[in-house]
Amino acid sequence: MIRRIIHIDQDKCNGCGACAKACHEGAIDMVDGKARLMREHYCDGLGDCLPACPTGAITFEEREAPAYDEAAVKAAQAAKKQAHTGCPGTAIRQLMHKKPAPPAPGGETESQLTNWPVQIKLAPVRAPYFNNARLLIAADCTAYAYANFHQEFLKGKVALIGCPKLDDVDYSEKLTEIIKSNEIQSVTIVRMEVPCCGGLQNAAIRALQNSGKFIPWQVVTISVDGKLLDQAF
C-alpha cells in the first residue's frame, strides 16, 4: 500500500540516537552508528521522531510500505517490558568475546554464545542482537550430541533453542514475530534425527513462510551418536 512513512537521510544523520529513543513504537534502530528504519510495519507515520532529530535528517515521504501493525508493536512493547521486569535469569544480554588465539592441542576453547536468554520461550521478540543477525534455531540436544557445535554452528550467530517434545508448544508464533520484527539475514535450523525434532523444523519453516520475508535458510540433521547426517538448503 502507498502511505506516509518516515525517511532518514543517512548523510545528515549524526548518529545521536535521539530519534530511536523518541520512537515509542520501536521502528528505528541504530546500525553502524546511524539511525535506520528497521521495521516499516512499526512506523505509524505520525513522526514523533522528527522534532527529536537535531540535524533535520528525518522527513516524511509517500511510498509503498507495509501497513502499520499495531498488534505487533504492542506485542514487542510487552516483551520488552517483561524483559526489564522479570526474572534476572531472563534479562536480555549481548555477550561479547575477545578474539581468541587458536587453542593449543588439548587446550580450552572459548564459548561462541553471543546472546541471552537462548530458550525460544524466554527470548524477547526484539533485542539489539537480532539486528542483522544470522539466526540459529537449534534443538536442545544438538549441542550435547555434536562435539564441535560451537565452532561449526554457533560461531557468529544468535542462538534460539527448544525442544518441542518437552515444551509442548507451537514455536512458530514466537519465531514468526521475531523474524517479522527484526532484520534477520539467514536462518540455520539444527535438529536431531529423532522424529520429535521435526516439530522444531516445521515450526521454523512455518515462521519463515508466515513472516512474508525471503530469507536464506538451511536444515542440518545430527545423529544421536554425534554425526552430521544431512544439510538441506
Q: What is the CATH number of the domain that holds 49?
A: 3.30.70.20
The residue range of the domain holding 133 is 71-100+111-232
| Residue 54 shares a structural domain with residue 138 | no
Same domain assignment for residues 116 and 228: yes
| Strand partners for 155 | none
Identify whether residues 40 and 117 lie together within a single domain: no
Q: Is 173 helix (H, G, I), strand (E, B) or coil?
A: helix
Instruction: Evaluate if residue 101 carries a pLDDT over 70.
Output: no
Q: Is the pLDDT of residue 104 over 60?
A: no
Same domain flag for 151 and 82: yes
User: Given a cut of 60, is residue 83 above it in pLDDT?
Assistant: no
Position 107 pLDDT exceeds 70: no
- Whether residues 47 and 142 share a domain: the answer is no
pTM for the structure as a whole: 0.62
- The answer on 223 and 123 residing in a single domain is yes
In this structure, the answer to whether residues 133 and 152 fall within a common structural domain is yes
Residue 105 lies in a domain: no
- SS3 letters across 190-208: EEECCHHHHHHHHHHHHHH
Mean per-residue pLDDT, 132-154: 95
